[in-house]
Amino acid sequence: MNVISSVRPAALSVEGVSHAYGTRRALHGVSLAVAQGQFTAVLGLNGAGKTTLLSLITRLFDTQSGSISVFGHRIDRAPGEALRRLGVVFQARTLDLDLSVMDNLLFHAALHGIGRREARRRADVALADVDLSKQARDKARNLSGGQMRRVEIARALLHEPRVLVLDEPTVGLDIASRQGIVSHVRRLVRERGVGVLWTTHLLDEIESSDYVLILHQGHALAQGVAAEVIAASGAETLRAAFAGLTEAA
Global pTM reads 0.93
The structural domains of the chain, with segments of one domain joined by +, span 1-85+161-249, 96-160
- pLDDT by residue for the chain (249 residues), tens digit each? 665 544 456 899 999 999 999 999 999 999 999 999 999 999 999 999 999 999 999 999 999 999 999 999 999 999 999 999 999 999 999 999 999 999 999 999 999 999 999 999 999 999 999 999 999 999 999 999 999 999 999 999 999 999 999 999 999 999 999 999 999 999 999 999 999 999 999 999 999 999 999 999 999 999 999 999 999 999 999 999 999 999 987
Rounded Cα distance, 172 and 220, in Å: 26
Domain 1-85+161-249 superfamily per CATH: P-loop containing nucleotide triphosphate hydrolases (3.40.50.300)
Q: What type of residue sits at position 7?
A: V
Hey, CA dihedral for 188, 139, 122, 134, is it positive or negative? positive
DSSP code string of 186-214: HHHHHHH--EEEEEES-GGG--TTSEEEE
Q: Are 35 and 197 in contact (CB under 8 A)?
A: no
